[in-house]
Structure 1
Amino acid sequence: MLDKTYSPAEVEPKHYDRWEKAEAFAAHVDSNQAPYTIMMPPPNVTGSLHMGHALTFTLQDALIRFNRMRGKDTLWQPGTDHAGIATQMVVERNLGKEGVSRHDLGREKFLEKVWEWKAESGGTITRQLRRLGASPDWSRERFTMDEGLNKAVRKVFVELFRQGLIYRDKRLVNWDPKLHTAISDLEVEQKEVKGNLWHFRYPVEGEEGRFVTVATTRPETMLGDTAVAVHPEDDRYKDLIGRHVVLPLVGRRIPVVADDYADPETGTGAVKITPAHDFNDFEVGKRHNLPLINLLDRDARILQAFEIFNGDAAYAGEVPEAYRGLSREAARKQIVEDMEAAGLLEKIDPHPHTVPHGDRSGVVIEPWLTDQWYCDAVTLAKPAIEAVETGKTVFVPRQWENTYFEWMRNIQPWCISRQLWWGHQIPAWYGPDGKFFVAETAEEAQAEADAHYGRAVELTRDPDVLDTWFSSALWPFSTLGWPEKTPELDRYYPGDVLVTGFDIIFFWVARMMMMGIHFMGDVPFRTVYIHALVRDEKGQKMSKSKGNVIDPLNLIDQYGCDALRFTLSAMAAQGRDIKLAVNRVEGYRNFATKLWNAARYAEMNQVAMVAGFDPAKVNLTVNRWIVGSLQQTSAKVTEAMEAYKFNEAAGALYQFAWNSFCDWYLEFTKPILTGEDEAAKAETRATTAWVLDRILHLLHPLMPFITEELNEKLSGRTQMLITDAWPEPDSSLIDPAASAEMEWVVSLISTIRTVRSEMNVPPSAQIPLVLKDAGQTASTLAERHRELITRLARLSDIEVTQVEPPKGSAQAVVEDATVVLPLAEFIDIEAEKARLNKEIGKLDGEISRIDAKLGNPKFVANAPEEIIEEQRERREGFEAARAKLTDALQRLG
């Protein structure tokens, strides 16, 4: 017997353990079933489950469970990412509490500490994924630093190097002066700061008293200026193009160059160019062959002597003594004072602007000129672009293809080296003269070096490691055993779908496409499903600083895993962010409770699965109707899941299970189950059991725990739901006549209930129903289902007539009949009209206030997008409520 209430805390671990022990998640490489593959985006080994994880892994798991039930050999490949910077920071913080730094330990001992930490704490995220009900093949779990993946990384690096697609170069990178490493754009956070725009005058060489005024937000970089750029069509400066100005404080001559980068409409139209400390200036410098002057050391302090790079030549330059060793901030202050003292500070304007910060260190990121390893992403991107253009890989929704193309067609060289200790160490070794030897092993590099020098030499390995995205770019094939030719690689590559967020289209999706096509000769996945962001209920991005972060594990503790999963699925409309409110999860917890109570009701009424039950042979109209309705729902859910329309699948299931089955069918069949007709009883019990069983199957991908529990308790089978067959729709089981008949009854009762609610008719009042101008079908059905209609609509009588309705009646139309409810003796008609008019007036006022806001150009220009969207949604809600009240008022008229 089912317990009175459903207890997720007891049920969820029980069934997860049962699934794992039964190896229900396993892929079978020797199976003759069609394979279906999803590569899990490997969460950081440092991570813990957040709401973005909850969404993406719920959707992936739903797809895996759906396809597993459809008889496919599913591989959901799990694993975790070593997360270079994040992991190194965690371990360094832990060491710091003991008063030890990684430099105290040395590289080898420090890495031992990282591996120890990984062994103790690195499994947090995978344990939490189990709580979410995720069903990947855990026996195949991989880690981006395990030996197999390490081998794949080394081979890819060496092959790309030998093909000329990996090279060493001196370019600008995002440099973190606190962590002392280059970081990717993904790890840079743009923050709005209140700054200034300093206007400096640079003297024109050979023209006493003439100056070119430049505006800058970073006075400290002027020491490294190597040009001033003006627009070629800017008449103010045409005569200066090709001439020189004198760089103040330094005295160096720098040219005036013509470049479209200078905007005549912005500032003074003249721009100082510091190629070694600004990404845009770097490109201008390349176009005009300008020298690059590096001002800063790795701590972002002014150097004792400039590092000047001009073509292949490099030499030192004199740094004015007053600035040597100063921090960026101190140098800025000193330079502004000195420029003012020299009479060369024209003005200072307050200027809010965005400044890049390291998302982990929190410090201002410096564009810094360093020697790094690069990958020729431009060459690798070409076939990856073509693959999407020709439809080998399709994005869902399709508009994300434009984002992909925009980035891929403007791709820059990819800086793949990081100045860290934790990660895949670059397989390059340096000889005594600085020449490097790239090889998969130290022995191979040594052999190359000895042959090159003609003698045995000592080599030093490059201390840098590879960008985390480099190893994760290989994930779709390295996890399957590449570079070995494994059965898994042959069977499960390419994958069917990648499910991920839009924020890593550039950083991960694009790089997997490039590497997959280059090394495997085919795309890594056929479909890329891009899901939206999970925001708070007001549409704001969740962040600790705003205090609006919702912890998925707390929601699972409070409402159960199924409620959270169903909520996220129901709200996962393509192209629309999820505005998550806790009361939505509570609402779907109530859905789970409704399902549980329906199962208990069935159990108490001796409803049980009947062996050999054939739904095609049921006779009662109400049973033929629910069987057919189930087939329509099955078709909708199947189609929606195939199209990645998770919200439509959830909506169809909710509508059928809660409304059609629980609210209508179970109510319609109560008189049958308590009646005297034993044949009708038996058929209805068997139908109820069969339909409930099918509901559990259809709901399983979205609500795995409660469905598995009810399956175990009610079905009488040992077959677990997770590996049972999906209820494929069968249109032959749809009886159009039975569907039309019962839907008419549902529509009539629903209409009467709506009118009663709108008119404030007391629930206990038994009111009469008059069906006016009813056609033959309506008259017949009203008579046939008189008992049902009067009971469920709380009516005293049903009369079919052509006579005009009495005064004070509410009216509505249901197909070929006018529904008339004489209410004069149950409510005060005039008072009800007054109440409705008052409510309509209130809503008119709310709508007008919102219209005034949205019609205010200042509000629309300055308010955050989520606030504007919230106002629009509120207006839609008020409009819908007003329409209902207006309909009610018209019914009384």
Structure 2
Amino acid sequence: MKELEKKYSHLDVEKNKYEMWIKQELFKAELDSKKPAYSIVIPPPNVTGKLHLGHAWDGSLQDLLIRFKKINGFDTVWIPGMDHAGIATQAKVEERLREQGISRYDLGREKFIEKVWEWKEEYASTIRSQWAKLGLSLDYSKEKFTYSEQLNKIVNYVFVDMYKKGLIYKGKRIINWDPKQKTALSNIEVIYKETQGGMYHFKYSLKENRSQFLEVATTRPETMFGDVCLVVNPNDDRYSKFVGKIVINPSNGQEIPVIADEYVEIEFGTGVMKCTPAHDINDFELGLKHKLEQIVVMNDDATMNEKALEFNGLDRFEARKQLIEKLTKEGTFIKKEEITHQVGYSERSNAIVEPFISDQWFVKMEPLAKQVLDLQESSDAINFFPNRFNDTLNKWMENSHDWTISRQLWWGHQIPAWYHNETKEVYVGINPPSDENNWTRDPDVLDTWFSSAFWPFATMDWTSESESEMMKRYFPVSTMVTGYDIIFFWVARMVFQSLEFTNSKPFNDVLIHGLIRDEQGRKMSKSLGNGVDPMDVIENYGADSLRYFLLTNSSPGQDLRYSEEKLTSTWNFINKIWNASRFVMMNIEKIPTNSEFNAAFEKADLLNNQVDLWILNKLTNTQKQVKEAIDKYEFTIAGKVLYNFIWDDYCSWYIELAKAQIGENDLVTNEQKEFSKLTLGFVLKNILIMLHPFMPFVTEEIYQSFDLESSILKERWLEKEYNSKTDSIKHIFDIITSLREFRANQIIKNSISLNAHLNISKSAFKSELNNEIEYIKLFIEKIVNCNLSINSIEENDFTSLPVNDYFLDIPNKDFFDKEKVLMETQEKITLLSKEIERSEKMLSNDNFVKRAAVEKVEEEKNKYEDYKKQHNLLVEKLNDLKK
């Protein structure tokens, strides 16, 4: 065997391991294998930058599952890939171009897209290098990209098919609009922030009597130009007489009616709501119900249009300011209340999002949502871990709105729709119209979530014509791992698109994790500057430490709090394993294979190998618990069980006991010693196999020293169970523990030999202890430097330690040096006498008592009293010792 370095260095250990795994093709799928299949597809990170700590957590969870399944005999595949992230990537590239003094319009669509592809290749390379640093066991031969030619074919086919089925349509509806990027946004691209704002109150005067008015409050006065009516609750006695009346819109003088609808809350605000169907999602729905006009008052850059009269061309917020000034002069502005409210911001541009009626492409959600709800009520339902997120999925499906899928961008899958130049007829097809010159293609692209919704089956080489070999073997995906923040936006969409196009659920299990927060529990963000780069953590602590920390510090569905202290603790744990491995390898000749060990186990005379049988029993129990926990995705529990077994059972107990067993003694036979050595190595090997999914690098490094398989990934989870009788081991532990505690309490160095007499006259284990006393004595002598005797103690002066229902009687002379204690006590009395004398002098000095601070005098008096108490107690003790 190769000797390990004396000191554990994560930088040296983790070097070149990934390249070795790739070279041996250990991550590749085995399509023709007879093994059971297990598959994962990576949630594709955006090609907009580096991976963050959340990606590291997500990746570590998936890698643990793949490595665990592989060493449990599965044919595994983990398909990597990246997301083209339409709006996010375009925004990043435009920002880079602006730094060079160029806009995308200077380049034109085709040249701009070439620049984005350059960006993609640059950042894809960075992401792959980070995957390698984390040790992710990805099958790169299957890597996919959401804007590849293959995905584009699927996107076009799906879009056309859904259009023909009436599941996709084009229409004018309210959407989230980014006025800076000039594109529609998905809900997930809108970030809501607490924002200081105002609630503005205005008079809407009655046409028939201008002295009467209804008071209306709004946070967005600039949208008043699009008001088409006021709405009150029909059950509101204050306003029922106004229903059907006409009021004057103070912003533009337009006459608008007062209508009634129970949507208005009587107790909210003034109880009167203005309705602007083109600029508010709720007003839009109300407008459809009452067949109200939709008046757009803004341009796509959030400047006001001609409907805003003299404010035409002004930015929306400048128009707000000037409108209030005008209406104040006219006497229709009542007041402004300062408020803090939730305002939507574009995740990419940070512009305040404008609810905007726009001509867009939509997915009709009702029939698709029903498919998901039906699936989750069936016996074939997707399993969520934790299960409560199944309710989250169902609630979203029950309340889903039609999905805006068009984006006003250049980077992304261009919508396969054309408009006839003369007739304006719409053509939707996989291929362009035959007379393409007479048609203009829709310039919009599809929402990134549209293409990523096909990810589970697109990664399996799905086509509409035939079932691929990948689909046959690995679909549905075994486990999907993702965060709870995108259940709505990604998980749900993958489910209904898979049901629609493959007639199958996309995955069997969904493992949900939370968010990583900083040490104070705050969400990590650029604005707070509290983000942590996983590559920095790997540099300082190693990927193994980072992975183990991420994997074992949060239950499914819960957030995780970053902790530098826990990372240090994890590094120390790995160092403990390293040192234990060094000891084992310096004391044994070889690590046995499973068959070699089992042959030795069957043949060896095991009557006195109690410690070896005990650790094998513990190994079996640990493997059962770890496997059961991982199968349930309870990695924290698995990590805790492993930690306790390695640190307490193996390192703290077994190695110490094994040292005694294989060391110089006449009790243990050579055959038994050899079996102990084999057990030391065999258990260490299986510890590394269990730990490998958590800590792939260090476990591979130690395993490589064994001269067995070319990689630990070729090993298998231990299947044989050990369940031997080990009665005497309990007595060994109990006696050693009692003696260790006794030494610690009495401050007795381990170099001082003790004699202990077993008082077992009334013990239920008398016969058992008599039979095994020699075996027990060996460990007590070697580990706690104590000679154990079954004979009754002859001395009268002894200390008796209770151990279960028997006692250890220890002569006091073994550890109690009376002369030394007498001398030490006398020295302390002498020192205290001097302090008492000094204190008395100070307190009898009038100058000190009168001139010193009161606190100082009081402090000295307290010291004096304490000295006297200590002195009296020590004199008492000295007198007792002299008796």
Calculate the TM-score normalised by the size of structure 2: 0.85
Q: Distance in 1 between matches of 2:767 and 2:803?
A: 12
**Pair 1:700 & 2:692 matched:** yes
Deviation at 1:549, TM superposition (A): 1.6
User: What residue is the counterpart of 2:428 in the other structure?
Assistant: 438
- Aligned partner of residue 287 in structure 2, secondary structure: helix
Q: In the alignment, is the contact (CA less than 8 A) between 1:373 and 1:415 conserved in 2? A: yes
User: What residue is the counterpart of 1:64 in the other structure?
Assistant: 66
Name the amino acid aligned to 2:696.
P
Question: Which of 737, 745, 758 in structure 1 is aligned with 2:732?
Answer: 745
Q: Distance in 1 between matches of 2:358 and 2:479?
A: 38
Bigger mean CA offset, 719-728 vs 139-148: 719-728
Q: In the alignment, is the contact (CA less than 8 A) between 2:494 and 2:506 conserved in 1? A: yes
Question: Which of 774, 779, 783 in structure 2 is aligned with 1:788?
Answer: 779
Q: In the alignment, is the contact (CA less than 8 A) between 2:156 and 2:416 conserved in 1? A: yes
Deviation at 1:816, TM superposition (A): 4.3
Q: 1:175-224, CA deviations, whole angstroms, 9 ceiling, x for partnerless residues?
A: 11111111111111111111111111111232342211111111111111
**Pair 1:627 & 2:621 matched:** no
Deviation at 1:643, TM superposition (A): 0.8
Q: 1:135-163, CA deviations, whole angstroms, 9 ceiling, x for partnerless residues?
A: 01111111111111110010000000000
Deviation at 1:685, TM superposition (A): 0.7
Q: 1:346-395, CA deviations, whole angstroms, 9 ceiling, x for partnerless residues?
A: 22211111111111111111111110000112211111122122242111
Going from structure 1 to structure 2, the CA distance change for 1:263 and 1:765 (only over 3 Å counts) comes to: farther
Q: Distance in 2 between matches of 1:751 and 1:577?
A: 41
**Pair 1:389 & 2:377 matched:** yes
**Pair 1:373 & 2:365 matched:** no
Q: Distance in 1 between matches of 2:165 and 2:791?
A: 87
- Aligned partner of residue 776 in structure 1, secondary structure: coil
Name the amino acid aligned to 1:704.
P
Deviation at 1:820, TM superposition (A): 9.6
User: What residue is the counterpart of 2:178 in the other structure?
Assistant: 176
Deviation at 1:532, TM superposition (A): 2.0
Going from structure 1 to structure 2, the CA distance change for 1:819 and 1:101 (only over 3 Å counts) comes to: farther
Q: Distance in 1 between matches of 2:805 and 2:62?
A: 46
Unaligned runs of 5+ in 2: 822-883
User: What residue is the counterpart of 2:568 in the other structure?
Assistant: 586
Matches within 5 A, 1:480-519: 480-483=460-463, 484-485=465-466, 486-519=468-501
Name the amino acid aligned to 1:462.
D
Deviation at 1:761, TM superposition (A): 4.3
Q: Distance in 1 between matches of 2:784 and 2:487?
A: 54
**Pair 1:726 & 2:725 matched:** no
Q: In the alignment, is the contact (CA less than 8 A) between 2:184 and 2:406 conserved in 1? A: yes
Deviation at 1:790, TM superposition (A): 6.0
Deviation at 1:743, TM superposition (A): 4.3
User: For this pair of structures, how many residues does the alignment match?
Assistant: 795
Matches within 5 A, 1:320-719: 320-321=309-310, 323-390=311-378, 391-432=380-421, 433-442=423-432, 446-447=433-434, 458-483=438-463, 484-485=465-466, 486-610=468-592, 612-614=596-598, 616-617=601-602, 618=604, 619=606, 620-676=609-665, 677-714=669-706, 716-719=707-710
Bigger mean CA offset, 5-14 vs 817-826: 817-826
Deviation at 1:579, TM superposition (A): 1.5
Matches within 5 A, 1:46-195: 46-195=48-197
Deviation at 1:775, TM superposition (A): 2.6
Deviation at 1:233, TM superposition (A): 1.5
Q: Distance in 2 between matches of 1:92 and 1:46?
A: 12
Q: 1:780-811, CA deviations, whole angstroms, 9 ceiling, x for partnerless residues?
A: 559552453465457687899999x999x998
Name the amino acid aligned to 2:175.
V
Name the amino acid aligned to 1:30.
D
Bigger mean CA offset, 387-396 vs 658-667: 387-396
Q: Distance in 2 between matches of 1:396 and 1:249?
A: 54
Q: Distance in 2 between matches of 1:180 and 1:800?
A: 93
Name the amino acid aligned to 2:456.
P
Q: In the alignment, is the contact (CA less than 8 A) between 1:778 and 1:816 conserved in 2? A: no
Going from structure 1 to structure 2, the CA distance change for 1:825 and 1:283 (only over 3 Å counts) comes to: farther
Q: Distance in 1 between matches of 2:61 and 2:511?
A: 10
- Aligned partner of residue 23 in structure 1, secondary structure: coil
Deviation at 1:756, TM superposition (A): 6.8
Deviation at 1:230, TM superposition (A): 1.6
Name the amino acid aligned to 1:5.
K
Name the amino acid aligned to 1:125.
I
Q: Distance in 2 between matches of 1:542 and 1:799?
A: 64
Going from structure 1 to structure 2, the CA distance change for 1:798 and 1:200 (only over 3 Å counts) comes to: farther
Bigger mean CA offset, 496-505 vs 528-537: 528-537
Deviation at 1:818, TM superposition (A): 7.6
User: What residue is the counterpart of 2:233 in the other structure?
Assistant: 231
User: What residue is the counterpart of 2:881 in the other structure?
Assistant: none
Going from structure 1 to structure 2, the CA distance change for 1:576 and 1:481 (only over 3 Å counts) comes to: closer
Bigger mean CA offset, 240-249 vs 294-303: 240-249
Bigger mean CA offset, 543-552 vs 214-223: 543-552
Matches within 5 A, 1:797-816: 815-816=804-805
Deviation at 1:479, TM superposition (A): 1.7
Q: Distance in 2 between matches of 1:529 and 1:249?
A: 53
Name the amino acid aligned to 1:252.
Q
- Aligned partner of residue 196 in structure 2, secondary structure: strand
Q: Distance in 2 between matches of 1:56 and 1:489?
A: 24
Name the amino acid aligned to 2:511.
Y
Name the amino acid aligned to 1:127.
S
Q: Distance in 1 between matches of 2:261 and 2:275?
A: 11
Deviation at 1:330, TM superposition (A): 0.7
Q: Distance in 2 between matches of 1:761 and 1:488?
A: 67
Deviation at 1:260, TM superposition (A): 2.7
Going from structure 1 to structure 2, the CA distance change for 1:232 and 1:789 (only over 3 Å counts) comes to: farther
Aligned residues: percent identity? Answer: 41
User: What residue is the counterpart of 2:867 in the other structure?
Assistant: none
Q: In the alignment, is the contact (CA less than 8 A) between 2:91 and 2:349 conserved in 1? A: no
Going from structure 1 to structure 2, the CA distance change for 1:768 and 1:200 (only over 3 Å counts) comes to: farther
Q: Distance in 1 between matches of 2:784 and 2:225?
A: 85
Name the amino acid aligned to 1:606.
I
Deviation at 1:8, TM superposition (A): 2.6
Name the amino acid aligned to 2:420.
G
Bigger mean CA offset, 328-337 vs 763-772: 763-772
User: What residue is the counterpart of 1:834 in the other structure?
Assistant: none
User: What residue is the counterpart of 1:877 in the other structure?
Assistant: none
User: What residue is the counterpart of 1:297 in the other structure?
Assistant: 299
Going from structure 1 to structure 2, the CA distance change for 1:575 and 1:122 (only over 3 Å counts) comes to: closer
Question: Which of 261, 267, 285 in structure 1 is aligned with 2:263?
Answer: 261
User: What residue is the counterpart of 1:309 in the other structure?
Assistant: none
Deviation at 1:12, TM superposition (A): 2.1
Going from structure 1 to structure 2, the CA distance change for 1:744 and 1:264 (only over 3 Å counts) comes to: farther
- Aligned partner of residue 296 in structure 1, secondary structure: coil
Q: In the alignment, is the contact (CA less than 8 A) between 1:755 and 1:810 conserved in 2? A: no
- The CA RMSD over aligned residues, in Å, is 2.8
